[in-house]
């Protein structure tokens, strides 16, 4: 069971399943639901990158959206101006972001903690301002006419690749080096590990996945706006990692799914509740469905922020608290059915 072939088979099976769903389920799925699913996919890819930088290596980056912007603009201009096919442009967009990660990471990773956060935030805003002032990239009005190429199949193939890549990376000796830097940088350095190199590696890899996610997003919407990648987006990704639990990969992924779906769910919930009120109205108990239900989606950001605060106060270690989903489920199962001693 532990043979590497088993792992490969699983990945191939996963990709086959993704394309199966793409071919046979998505055409019958409501366009709105597909849109939410794809947005979940983009966020999951970007979040795996940030989980590496923030969760596993402990480097506080507030500029992840900037790398998404570079990937999106890089891939879109490659395909618009050099006719690079989108299939190739997505990984190239990731590479552009990764390269930028190197350029940003080498000087700024000398700083730590809050200072690093501010500098990465600064780079994020600088990238946005530069894009806004570059006519070649569409300026503040955005880049339009990007070919539409992102499908469910492509997005989730990338999701699968990102998750498998990250899982394997974290299980390797690199993974232990990342964790060592997070837990005690000085002790790690004293063991002869080049911590700067480790931090920069994490940063570059994280930037690559952010870039790939941005590129996919660009090929999905067919237009890209600088506003999409401002620091509030970085903060959103940061919230996903912390809510999911740092030092966990499945936690942030779960958080990315929940936090992307939550606002949409509230919108749908409002519709359902209005329908549920219909019998009450018919029975004469209510004049009309409560007016605020129709506006429930307007409250979604308020509810989202309350969830964020409430979670931090009640579950400070995140959903999974530094464990992986598998371990949590196995633990729960053991509690329900204690193994015969």
Partner 1 sequence: MTLFVQQLVNGLSLGAIYALIALGYTMVYGTLQMINFAHSEVFMMGGFFALLIAKYSGVADAPSVPGVIFVAVGTMLATATLGATIERLAYRPLRKSGRLNMLITAIGMSLLLQNGALLVWGTNVPFPELLPRTTWVIAGVSVSTNNVLVFSVTIVLMIALHHVVERTQMGRAMRAVSASRDAAALMGIPVDRIIAFTFALGSILAGAASMLWVLDNPRVDPAMGIMPGLKAFVAAVLGGIGSIPGAVAGAILLGLCETMVSGYVSSTWRDAVAFLLLIVILLVRPAGLFGKFVPEKV
Residues near partner 1, by CB under 8 A: 60, 107-108, 110-111, 113-115, 117-119, 121-123, 125-126, 129-130, 132-133, 185-187, 231, 235, 238-239, 242-243, 246, 298-299, 301-302, 304-306, 308-309, 312-313, 316
Nearer to partner 1 by C-beta: 110 or 197? 110
Measured from the CB atom, the residue of 107 and 294 that comes closer to partner 1 is 107
- Shortest spacing between CB 138 and partner 1, in angstroms: 14
Minimum gap (Å) between residue 231 Cβ and partner 1: 8
Token pair, residue 340, equals 């015969």
- Sequence-distant (6+) residues with CB within 8 A of 102 are 200, 203, 204
Give the shortest CB-126-to-partner 1 separation in angstroms.
Answer: 5
Question: Which CB sits closer to partner 1, 121 or 204?
Answer: 121
The dihedral region occupied by 147, where left means phi > 0, alpha psi between -120 and 50, and beta the remainder, is: beta
Hey, which bits of the chain come out as E strands? 143-144, 223-224
Q: Please, what is the angle between helix 86-108 and helix 64-81, to 10°?
A: 140
Which tokens hold the place of 12?
């191939």
Nearer CB in complex with partner 1: 45/116: 116
Report, in Å, the least distance between residue 67 CB and partner 1: 16
Cβ partners under 8 Å of residue 226, min gap 6: 69, 128, 131, 132, 140, 142
Distance CA 51, CA 48 (A): 5
Least separation in angstroms between residue 124's CB and partner 1 is 9
Residue 58 or 211: which CB sits closer to partner 1?
A: 58
Instruction: Report the alpha-carbon distance of residue 46 to residue 212 in Å, rounded.
Output: 8
């Amino acid at each position: 069971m532990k043979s590497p072939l088993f792992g490969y088979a699983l990945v191939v099976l996963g990709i086959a399943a993704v394309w199966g769903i793409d071919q046979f389920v998505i055409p019958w799925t409501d366009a709105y639901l597909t849109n939410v699913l794809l947005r979940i996919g983009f966020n999951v890819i970007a979040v795996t990158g940030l989980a590496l930088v923030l969760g596993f290596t402990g480097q506080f980056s507030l500029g992840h959206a900037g790398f998404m912007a570079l990937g999106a603009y890089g891939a879109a201009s490659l395909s618009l101006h050099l006719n690079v096919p989108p299939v190739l442009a997505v990984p190239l967009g990731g590479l552009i972001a990764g390269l930028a990660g190197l350029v940003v990471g080498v000087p700024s990773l000398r700083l730590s903690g809050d200072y690093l956060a501010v500098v990465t935030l600064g780079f994020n805003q600088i990238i946005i301002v530069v894009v806004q002032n570059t006519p070649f990239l569409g300026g503040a009005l955005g880049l339009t006419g990007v070919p539409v190429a992102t499908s469910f199949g492509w997005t989730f193939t990338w999701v699968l690749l990102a998750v498998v890549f990250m899982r394997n990376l974290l299980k390797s000796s690199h993974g232990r080096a990342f964790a060592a830097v997070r837990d005690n940088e000085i002790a790690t350095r004293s063991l002869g590990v080049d911590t700067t190199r480790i931090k920069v590696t994490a940063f570059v890899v994280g930037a690559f996945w952010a870039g790939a996610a941005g590129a996919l997003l660009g090929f999905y919407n067919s237009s890209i706006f600088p506003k999409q990648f401002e620091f509030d987006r970085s903060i959103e990704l940061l919230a996903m990692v912390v809510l999911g639990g740092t030092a966990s990969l499945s936690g942030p992924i779960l958080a990315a799914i929940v936090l992307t779906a939550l606002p949409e769910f509230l919108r749908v919930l409002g519709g359902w509740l209005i329908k549920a009120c219909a019998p009450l109205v018919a029975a004469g108990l209510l004049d009309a469905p409560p007016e605020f239900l129709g506006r429930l989606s307007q409250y979604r950001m308020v509810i989202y922020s309350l969830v964020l605060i409430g979670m931090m106060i009640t579950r400070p270690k995140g959903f999974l608290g530094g464990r992986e989903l598998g371990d949590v489920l196995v633990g729960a199962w053991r509690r329900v059915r204690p193994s015969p001693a």
